[in-house]
């Protein structure tokens, strides 16, 4: 199909762009960023993942595209971010985790770029079907020193089961739990998920922070990392590097 062919060309012609959305700790210090892919389409302009990730997954192109994103992140950690202790989070699709080569690829990337693996976070979206193969691959990645994060935590069917089945370092509280804090002083559900994360000794990231009251609540309840439009939007890499 047309989009698939265009995706192939985009990969060959270098039309993907890496955007970074800054993440801050509770005191407002820059702590790292989430890598978010964009497609600079020659006719249609800058496209966001919603426009093409689905097709990339169904066609299998998510594997080379995902490797491209990982390489970009590795280059940043090895290059301009080397003398910082900033972390980079990369979204990983289920299709990448099902790939037998994924572990080997990440391992050689770490070795070649001499990366500190603890500065790389892989965000696992909850919708993935956790087969035993995927579980053991996740644990192997973690043994390498890479951080695992459960993305969109609380919105999938098996959030709690994942916590039982494999170890992670971080959970990302989905925006749907942060949204009600716009109009309510207290949201018992958000508070409970925070308490759960803390009881398990996990790092907590809140995404979709869009206002001062939300930030205040999250800080008060000890959420470690904040991300959202109120603090910073996803931006091209040079803009992010200007922050250093
Ligand atoms: O800002 P935004 O529109 O970038 O991202 C939309 C969705 O696309 C997010 O849920 C995010 O997880 C996903 N996404 C962004 N970048 C990547 C990527 O590099 N790989 C994968 N698999 N998903 C991504
Ligand atoms: O991978 P994930 O689904 O977590 O990707 C985060 C998505 O949320 C990206 O599409 C990103 O651009 C978007 N995003 C980040 N911060 C905000 C925010 O404060 N509000 C909204 N509406 N979207 C956000
Ligand atoms: Mn994410
Ligand atoms: Na998310």
The predicted model scores a pTM of 0.97
Give the containing element (helix H, strand E) for 171: strand 170-173
Please list the alpha-helical segments (H only) found in the chain: 2-13, 53-59, 62-78, 94-97, 102-112, 132-143, 159-165, 175-178, 188-199, 212-220, 237-241
Per-residue pLDDT of the chain (244 residues; tens, 9 = 90+): 899 999 999 999 999 999 999 999 999 999 999 999 999 999 999 999 999 999 999 999 999 999 999 999 999 999 999 999 999 999 998 888 989 999 999 999 999 999 999 999 999 986 666 788 889 999 999 999 999 999 999 888 778 888 988 899 999 999 999 999 988 888 999 999 999 999 999 999 999 999 999 999 999 999 999 999 999 999 999 999 999 9
Q: Are 141 and 103 in contact (CB under 8 A)?
A: yes
Q: Which atom of ligand 2 is closest in space to residue 234's alpha carbon?
A: 12
Where are the domains positioned within the chain?
2-241
| C-alpha–C-alpha distance, residues 4 and 77, integer Å | 30
CATH annotation of 2-241? 3.20.20.450
Task: Write the CB contacts of 109 (distance below 8 Å, at least 6 apart in sequence).
Answer: 70, 71, 74, 115
Residues in contact with ligand 2 by the CB-under-6-Å rule are 21, 36, 91, 151-152, 207-210, 228-229, 234
**CA 100 to ligand 2 center in whole angstroms:** 30
């Amino acid at each position: 199909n047309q989009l698939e062919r265009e995706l192939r060309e985009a990969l060959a012609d270098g039309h993907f762009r890496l955007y970074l959305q800054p993440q801050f700790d509770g005191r407002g210090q820059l702590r790292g960023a989430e890598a978010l892919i964009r497609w600079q389409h020659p006719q249609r302009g800058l496209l966001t993942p919603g426009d093409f990730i689905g097709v990339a997954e169904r066609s299998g192109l998510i594997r080379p595209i995902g490797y491209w994103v990982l390489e970009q992140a590795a280059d940043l950690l090895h290059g301009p971010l080397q003398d910082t202790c900033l972390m980079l989070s990369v979204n990983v699709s289920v299709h990448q985790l099902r790939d037998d080569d994924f572990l080997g690829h990440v391992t050689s990337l770490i070795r070649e770029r001499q990366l500190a693996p603890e500065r790389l976070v892989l965000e696992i979206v909850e919708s993935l079907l956790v087969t035993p193969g995927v579980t053991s691959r996740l644990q192997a990645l973690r043994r390498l020193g890479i951080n695992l994060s459960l993305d969109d935590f609380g919105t999938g069917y098996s959030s709690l089961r994942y916590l039982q089945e494999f170890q992670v370092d971080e959970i990302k509280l989905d925006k749907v739990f942060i949204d009600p804090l716009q109009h309510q002083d207290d949201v018992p559900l958000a508070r409970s998920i925070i308490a759960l994360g803390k009881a398990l000794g996990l790092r907590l990231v809140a995404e979709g922070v869009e206002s001062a009251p939300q930030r205040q609540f999250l800080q008060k309840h000890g959420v470690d990392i904040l991300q959202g439009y109120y603090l910073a939007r996803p931006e091209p890499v040079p803009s992010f590097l200007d922050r250093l």
